[in-house]
Structure 1
Amino acid sequence: MSTISMRKTAIAAVGLAVVGSLALTGCENGDDGATAQPAASAPVSAPAASAAPTGPSTDAGAAPAGAPGTAKPGQVFKIGEAAEVPYDYGDFKGSRIALTVTTIEQGTPADLEGLGLGDKANGKVPYYIRYTVKNIGTTDMTYASVGHVSGLLGDGTPAQSLAVIGRFEKCKGESMPKGFANGQTQTTCAIALAPSAQTKVAGAAYGGNPYNAANRSEAITWK
């Protein structure tokens, strides 16, 4: 993994991970990325108490990867369009979700102040990739973390990603709530960094299994 990192305290690592060559670090339940610690450290929040409203009804049966309706490696979706994908991590093997990138919002460089990134954040502009996760399988996905969502620049190359330890109000990366069963939906968020104000984050990608985060051509994308 190509990373730029520094250590703020003995327990808080700060870094920017280059998504295009991202190796999974401390991967658990499909989450990925390097981390940054807010200056005013906030405790890691409990999972959201309630799920967001559910979207249109989809097939409730658990289906294997490659089942009809499953997104194909490299498939492109419009922002707001759902991709049906298998979710095979840890205790949640055999799960199935509908993943939808709903919006990509531009932040400001000032949003990064207090994260301890120093000159590593110079000139960079954060973008907030908001997406929903709907359980369309039969497994209970309580506290599952659906990560591997990253940004794409206007030319299709990967943006840098940033994960924050603790609460970051601009972009809350939520785990699935307790009792996350079939038909329930949760909204969460991923941070992507544009290298300058002149370059935009225009799309998003999902590189979780079986879409191979190490091979961009196999990731599914939203544009």
Structure 2
Amino acid sequence: MSTFSTRRTALAATGVAVAAVLALSGCKSGNEDTGPAKSASPSAAPSQSASQPATNPDPGYSSSASAPATGGGAAPAGAAKAGQQFKIGEQAQFPFTSGSTKGTITLAVTAIEKGQPDDLAPFKLGDKVKGMVPYYIRYQVKNVGTTDLSFTSVGHIKGHLGDGSEAQDLLVIGKFDKCPNDSLPKGFTNGQVTTGCAVALAPSASTTVASAEYWGDPFTLGKGLTWK
């Protein structure tokens, strides 16, 4: 069961600019890449039918690829391996797939920043997120291959709590200034760099999101790349 395949939920037009959906954790088999949800229009909000969780330093970090540019989806020399752990800010290079597009990127989680419970208020999730604290997983992506990766998406990034268990994911639909997460920009060719952000939720103020995992293709959840 893919975590991403459980995240989708219908949106109803009720007049808010941003929406969010909780995403189920713990489904560790499969790695379906459905990509991120498309940005909602200013009239999109969560459907009332989603009554139970469908449970989802700043980008000044600069990097350059240490390995030569590699095209297609072939694993480059020195590619990161499943289960490998990195320090915050450290780059991992690997073959990248988004839909039918294949290339090579470096990815670095640059920060895991604690937010405030009130940050979740615009999503109007009520008791579903009561007591939870958002953490913002900020990351940097560089295209080090020969494929144009314009408009593809680097999803499949989740947080882990201090005890190693999975943090609750929050799938944001629309513009959320505290944690922008758009598709890779137009003209994202070799050497281009951009930043993104994913939201993870700690269940209480006494717990923390201590690490982040990328588990997109060619990796799987629980056997991905980890930063802490």
Pairwise TM-score range, normalised by the shorter structure: 0.7 to 0.9
**Aligned mates of 2:178, 2:44 — CA distance in 1:** 14
Query: Number of residues paired by the alignment?
Result: 207
With over 3 angstroms needed to count, the CA separation of the structure-2 counterparts of 1:26 and 1:37, relative to structure 1, is: farther
What displacement does 1:15 show? 3.0
Question: Contact conserved, 1:37 with 1:164, CA < 8 A, in 2?
Answer: no
* Distance (Å, rounded) in 1 between the aligned partners of 2:11 and 2:133: 22
The correspondence for 1:222, drawn from 213, 216, 227, is 227
Which of these residues, 148, 160, 165, is aligned with residue 152 of structure 1?
160
Number of the residue aligned with 1:15: 21
Q: Mapping of 1:40-59 within 5 angstroms? A: 41=43, 55-58=63-66, 59=68
Cα-Cα RMSD: 3.3
1:139-186, CA deviations, whole angstroms, 9 ceiling, x for partnerless residues? 001111110011010111110110111101110002111110001111
- Give the Cα separation in 2 of the matches to 1:10 and 1:42: 5
User: Which runs of 5 or more residues in structure 1 are unaligned?
Assistant: 44-50
Give the whole-Å Cα distance in 2 for the aligned partners of 1:183 and 1:106. Answer: 30
Matches within 5 A, 1:112-191: 112-191=120-199
Note the C-alpha offset of 1:57. 3.7
SS in structure 2 of the partner of residue 203 of structure 1: strand
For 1:27, the aligned partner's letter is: T
CA offset at residue 18 of structure 1?
Answer: 2.9
* 1:9 counterpart SS class: strand
CA contact (8 A) 2:33 2:98 kept: no
1:66, CA displacement in angstroms?
Answer: 4.1
State which of 86, 89, 92 in structure 1 corresponds to 2:98: 89
In structure 2, list runs of 5 or more residues that go unmatched: 46-58
Matches of 2:163 and 2:193, distance apart in 1: 31
Letter in 2 for 1:222: W
2:107 aligned to 99, 103, 110, which one?
A: 99
Q: Distance in 1 between matches of 2:117 and 2:143?
A: 35
**1:69-88 equivalent positions in 2, closer than 5 A:** 69-88=78-97
Q: How far did residue 25 of structure 1 move? A: 7.8
Instruction: Give the superposition deviation at 1:6.
Output: 8.1
TM-score, normalised on structure 1?
Answer: 0.80
Counterpart Cα distance in 1 of 2:34 and 2:7: 18
1:61 offset after TM fit, Å? 2.4
